[in-house]
Structure 1
Amino acid sequence: MRISAKADYAVRASIELAAVTDGAPVSAEVLASAQDVPHRFLEAILRDLRRDGIVASRRGVGGGYVLARPADRITVADVVRAVDGPLVYVRDQRPSDLDYSGSAASLLHVWVALRANVRAVLAQVTLADLAAGAVPEELRRLVDDEEAWENP
């Protein structure tokens, strides 16, 4: 599975917004600089996030972006879906839309299980968790496994 640059940048910018304690709008330029993200690319990402109700924009002097709802109600899965669509694709299709036959029929179960596991991880981590420097205990156990860091 690959996480696109667009999804990575979207999550990072969203965490920056979640870390703003006074709720003041943050400009795209400041977000881009804080996370070393190309500004023009981030502008397009922020439009996608606004369209999906993750962020809201405020115009004028002192304008910028804010989270559209509390950070503890926005998951990493929400952000990734807003910019990339479904969490897992196989040949540009959702696993549930595929149909395999013959000896490959059971492969569909593998793709659906992968999607379920990706969703299980990304849907339990909120922007508030990440802005606070924490992840849920279940994820911590996965990360603490030394094999998780290896690339066999």
Structure 2
Amino acid sequence: MKLSTKGRYGLRALIDLALYSDEEAVSIQSISNRQNISDSYLEQLMRKLKKAGLVVSERGAQGGYRLAKPADEISVGDVLRALEGSLEAVSCGAGNNEHCQGEDLCVTRYVWQEINKSIQETVDSIKISQLVEESRKAREKGQIKVQKCD
């Protein structure tokens, strides 16, 4: 499984939002500048995150985006599923593969189910608040630099 830029950039944007939206809504432009992501792409990502109930938008001169709920209630899995859809590495392990012949007898199915389960458990166990804390620690050490992710 490989995440697209939607998932990677969206997660960065949401962490940025959590870091900077305590006092006021955060504009797309400010996230864009800090994260080196285009405004138009961020708008697309924020629309999906808003539809998923993870962010809210505020209109007006001081408008922008905020988290829809506390950062400790939003998991990495919530963000990635909102932007990427299914996080399954292999679909046949989920029991929904219509093209698989002999699925009931497939010994490797167990492997795919375990891989999928591990991915889900991992991304659901990591909260945005944890990533915000890690970001703050890294800043204190001077380790944070805006990098372009490929």
TM over 0.5, shorter chain: yes
Over the aligned positions, Cα root-mean-square deviation in angstroms equals 2.2
For residues 124 and 109 of structure 1, do their structure 2 counterparts lie closer, same or farther at Cα, with a shift above 3 Å needed? same
Between the two structures, name the one with larger relative contact order (CA 8 Å, sep ≥ 6): 2
Gaps of 5+ in 2: 136-150
- Structure 1 gaps, min length 5: 135-152
CA 94–11 in structure 1, closer or farther in 2 if over 3 Å, else same: farther
1:95 aligns with 2:94: yes
Letter in structure 2 aligned against 1:37: I
Structure-1 residue corresponding to 2:29: 29
Pairing 1:3-152 to 2, within 5 Å after superposition: 3-20=3-20, 22-88=22-88, 90=90, 95-98=94-97, 99-101=100-102, 105-133=106-134
How far apart are the structure 1 equivalents of 2:101 and 2:79?
30
Task: Provide the C-alpha distance between the structure 2 equivalents of 1:17 and 1:131, rounded to a whole number of angstroms.
Answer: 10
Q: CA deviation at 1:100?
A: 4.4
Q: TM-score, normalised by structure 2?
A: 0.80
User: CA separation in 1, counterparts of 2:126 and 2:134?
Assistant: 11
Report runs of 4+ in structure 1 exceeding 3 Å deviation: none
Identity of aligned residues (%): 32
Q: Summarize the Cα distance change of 1:59–1:94 in structure 2 as closer, same or farther, 3 Å threshold.
A: farther
Structure 1 residues 94 and 10 mapped into 2: Cα distance closer, same or farther (>3 Å)?
Answer: farther
TM-score of the aligned structures, taking structure 1 as reference length: 0.79
Secondary structure of the structure 2 residue equivalent to 1:26 = coil
